[in-house]
Amino acid sequence: MRVLVVFAHPSPISFNASLHAQVLEALRQKGHEVDDCDLYAEGFNPVLSQEEHLIYGEVPANRAGVAGYVDRLLAADALVLIYPVWNEGFPAIFKGFLDRVFLPGVCFVKDRGVPKPALLNIKKIATVCTYGAGRLPTMVLGDPPRKVVKRLLRAMTARNARCDYLALYNMDRVSSDKRARFRRRVGRLFEVW
């Protein structure tokens, strides 16, 4: 299976970076073809320009500024997202990736004004993320990142696409034992992925 891994963290020595390395190793050991998209390392520009906004709905012209990333997404059978949750949302670079790459004609098409999924090549999605906040305050606020992945992104993919969401809440205050347990959860998921 060809897996696009999208990683969004600025520090190469972060816990998220270690999770990224763990996921890459596990996927490669399982024999998957891995396309590692490290948004910071690649210098991805998250800003949707005025020109891009003006042609947002014009398929296929809307792909021009991000054609390489669109091609990588369309070549994948599975998608793995690795990022921290900051201020109850995605890092700006990752949000910009969604805004600029998950375009009309790429992820959805309109049929008589109703959006229909177009990322039918994606059969699996997995998210590995960390939250600074605890689970309860995050849930009170609706856990927006989880909803975007489990509802919106999943709705753009194949009908029965598997969608795993692994989250470590309270990242800055959890014990090293809890981090180790989370790392083992990540390992178990990708051993059978």
Domains of the chain: 2-191 (3.40.50.360)
Calpha distance 54→21 (Å, rounded): 38
**pLDDT of 151 over the 90 cut:** yes
Report how far residue 62's alpha carbon sits from residue 20's, in angstroms, rounded to the nearest whole number. Answer: 30
CA 138, CA 193: separation in Å to the nearest integer? Answer: 27
User: How far apart, in whole angstroms, are the C-alpha atoms of residue 132 and residue 174?
Assistant: 10
Tens digits of per-residue pLDDT, 152-187? 999 999 989 999 999 999 998 999 999 999 999 999
Cα separation, 66 vs 55, whole angstroms: 13
Please check whether residue 12 is in contact with residue 43, taking contact to mean a CB–CB distance below 8 angstroms.
no
The whole-number pLDDT of residue 166 equals 98
Confidence class of residue 138 from pLDDT cuts 50, 70 and 90? confident
Phi, psi for residue 166 in degrees, rounded to 5: -105, 120
pLDDT of residue 115: 87
Angle in degrees, CA 23, 7, 19, rounded to 5: 35
Q: Is the dihedral of CA 91, 83, 109, 151 positive or negative?
A: negative
> Please, what is the angle between helix 176-191 and helix 15-29, to 10°?
20
pLDDT at 136 over 90: no
Q: What is the pLDDT of residues 65-121, one digit of tens each?
A: 999 999 999 999 999 999 999 999 999 999 999 999 999 999 999 888 888 999 999
Question: Can you read off the two tokens belonging to residue 43?
Answer: 């210098």
pLDDT of 11-63, one tens digit each?
A: 999 999 999 999 999 999 999 999 999 999 999 999 999 999 999 999 999 99
Q: How far is residue 158 CA from its own chain's centroid? A: 16
Q: 152-180 burial string, b = 16+ CB within 10 Å, else e?
A: ebbbbbbeebebbbbbbbbbeebeeeebe
Distance CA 14, CA 7 (A): 12
Nearest to 150 by CA among 115, 178, 126, 184: 126
Report the candidate in 179, 71, 87 with the shortest Cα–Cα distance to residue 128.
Answer: 179
pTM of the predicted model as reported, rounded to 2 decimal places: 0.95
